[in-house]
Each structure stands twice: as structure tokens, then as C-alpha cells.
Amino acid sequence: MAHRARIALEHGYPIVQVDASDDSRPILERLGLHVVGGTTPYVTSPPSA
């Protein structure tokens, strides 16, 4: 993650978006990232015949 964030900064992108599990949150926070939003996964089923 840190490597990819450095590459983004080198290319002029000051913001990095990460979609990760709750288990990854402490790791990402130790790297200096902050939660600013969230995603909601949706599971859909095909229509029944």
C-alpha cells in the first residue's frame, strides 16, 4: 500500500482510495490513512425462472 501511495504522489495524485476489510483498517491507519467514507457491498441473485 505504501509503495502504491508513493507512486500515486509521484504522478501528482494527492489522494488514494482504498476499499479494504475491517481487518485491514488498523494496518492502513498505521500507514497514516484516515477513514472518510465507506462502501456497502450488495449481493444480487438472478431472477428466478
pLDDT, tens digit only, all 49 positions of the chain: 788 888 999 999 988 888 888 899 999 899 888 888 888 888 888 887 6
Per the structure block, which three cell numbers stand in for 19?
A: 476499499
The neighbour count for residue 25, using CB atoms within 10 Å, is: 13
| Domain residue ranges in the chain | 1-34
CA atoms of 39 and 22, how far apart (whole Å): 12
CA atoms of 41 and 9, how far apart (whole Å): 28
Its pTM stands at: 0.56
